[in-house]
Chains A and B, each alone.
Chain A
């Protein structure tokens, strides 16, 4: 069982649709940021679509994922709504976090999306915990952590994986090796050629797959899910991929050349998969272009609506701290106000 069956034409089209949606969403987000429309930072997933979509399509609906600061692609892969995501990027009340999270913290626990995360390497221990819940309650759920090549240098990543490995938890650890930890090349941060080699230390299966090939990622995660689900513990997968854009929007990228990027664009995951489907007769070039245009129009519409949506009421800044009532927050807020009263 998987959430999207890559063997069927419907499944293949859905995978293509999700990759195109990520590309369109992040292209739009980049434009809006450049235009000064969006506050904060945005980190784009363009180029890495095959990893998120390939991995999550091979999971089941009820499975959990944890994400990174570059999380839009994971959200879309998990089926999150692009309007609510866009609203969150704008800081609007309709956003997934009511405007409190922004681009770096989109979460939807009901959908199994345990949050994009601003801390490099924070996801693996969280996924270990979600896998622990599944194991503890005897539920058929697995937890997949996405993290970057930079995060593999973080101690908590190793602690999280070691714990999951020691307890044979249903977890999958997916490193998106996009070749840069922020602005520093992967080779300058790690002494191993393939990050999957680190799996040996936990005595769990570890391998490297072509992260530009959605089918390869899908197959690897499908196998890892079967292993996790049957009590054989976690798998460590390195997906070799590339980000076409900077670490954040506005990054002037002195660490690479346009030629480097072009080499990877020649192997573009969407183009490759589309060509494969065209050859197999699963979709025509015209249908593909229609699909892309339709998605771009949807994203434009989502952005337009998000722009027009309401901001939260300023008083909502004092909500959601705790489940329980804590008198301090309102008391202090009232005291801080010039008139000392309710807003």
Chain B
């Protein structure tokens, strides 16, 4: 598996843009490339998406291809399954991942199972884009990080970009996939800037992680917002502790080889992900590393995440709950 995606895997022409712009560029390029691709969701058209991701796409592609839906996640997510099975490639936006609660039937029993249940004879090229994460004072029903549920669900692929280049590459790969992929976007990093390959051919293969910064003393496997926080921390610790930072990028399938290779070098592992800790994404990384890399480890593996709570409203409480760089630092201090 290629891990050379930090620089865009050989795509040298880059532009600085935000995560939001990178996703929009991915959508624009895929809408241009393939007539079968269309975008649907609540207010994705003229309104441009409540978080502004779809922006002005409707002006370029029209209301047929960037279509506003009624507020009915079960209806349009179910429709995306029927549409994907019959020859189109829907890209569905579910405004906040917490709302997946009302359409989990369509993902759980239809989207994820049809291909297998029908003996491999049905294609399911559907992409769901949804937002996760706290930090905006949006309270419990608009701040959850639920990606573990769907990474755990057989039949669904799940990705979660931590940088602008990952956001573009993963979104494009999801749309081109003939399997259902959920792209979990952390809404706190939409404004985060980075270098993004401008090539229309640039994608990140599903199932690959990215070594964003090399280091020797400890590996931090991070997702979404925790990638940037960990990179900042690694800069701060320069000269003191050499931190290797990996953006996990693909939750399922997962790039175990890159994780093992890193731990073989550093001997220490911290996993940082903004989801609840019990039975979480962290646990999956830990399990894989200890199953095959146990003898590389020089210290117990540490987890940084949310302490099995919902996300509260009050800024003081929210700040307490969410994982930050200092939590990663504390975890590193425990093992180095």
Size class of the B contact interface (CB-based, 8 Å): 35 or more
> Is A24 part of the contact surface with B, judged by Cβ < 8 Å?
no
Contact between A122 and B116, CB atoms less than 8 A apart: no
Min C-beta distance of B60 to chain A, whole Å: 17
Bound Cα distance A161, B2 (Å): 45
Q: Which residues of B contact A166 (CB under 8 A)?
A: 70
Contact between A132 and B83, CB atoms less than 8 A apart: yes
Residues of A253-280 at the interface with B, using a CB-CB cut-off of 8 Å, are none
Q: Which residues of A contact B43 (CB under 8 A)?
A: none
> Is A200 part of the contact surface with B, judged by Cβ < 8 Å?
no
Listed by A's residue number, 9 A-B pairs whose Cβ atoms lie within 8 Å are A101-B118, A105-B117, A132-B83, A156-B105, A162-B72, A163-B76, A321-B155, A323-B178, A324-B178
Bound Cα distance A117, B116 (Å): 13
Contact between B78 and A64, CB atoms less than 8 A apart: no
- A100-B117, A136-B64 known; A128+B109 contact, CB < 8 A: no
- A97-B118, A125-B78, A321-B155 known; A137+B88 contact, CB < 8 A: yes
Min C-beta distance of A184 to chain B, whole Å: 21
Bound Cα distance A320, B178 (Å): 12
Contact between B105 and A162, CB atoms less than 8 A apart: no
Contact between A328 and B75, CB atoms less than 8 A apart: no
Contact of A114 among B38, B86, B154, B253 (CB under 8 A): B86
Q: Which residues of B contact A319 (CB under 8 A)?
A: 120
Contact between A130 and B85, CB atoms less than 8 A apart: yes
**Closest Cβ neighbor of B178 among chain A residues:** A323
Q: Which residues of B contact A98 (CB under 8 A)?
A: 119-120
B-contact 0/1 string along A201-228, CB 8 Å cutoff: 0000000000000000000000000000
> Is A96 part of the contact surface with B, judged by Cβ < 8 Å?
yes
* A129-B80, A156-B74 given; 13 more Cβ-contact pairs under 8 Å: A64-B86, A97-B117, A119-B105, A119-B109, A128-B82, A129-B78, A132-B83, A133-B87, A156-B75, A320-B119, A321-B116, A321-B154, A328-B252
> Is B14 part of the contact surface with A, judged by Cβ < 8 Å?
no
**Closest Cβ neighbor of A88 among chain B residues:** B119
Contact between B109 and A100, CB atoms less than 8 A apart: no
Q: Which residues of B contact A115 (CB under 8 A)?
A: 114, 117-118, 122
Min C-beta distance of B249 to chain A, whole Å: 15
Q: Which residues of B contact A136 (CB under 8 A)?
A: 38, 64, 83, 88
> Is A66 part of the contact surface with B, judged by Cβ < 8 Å?
yes
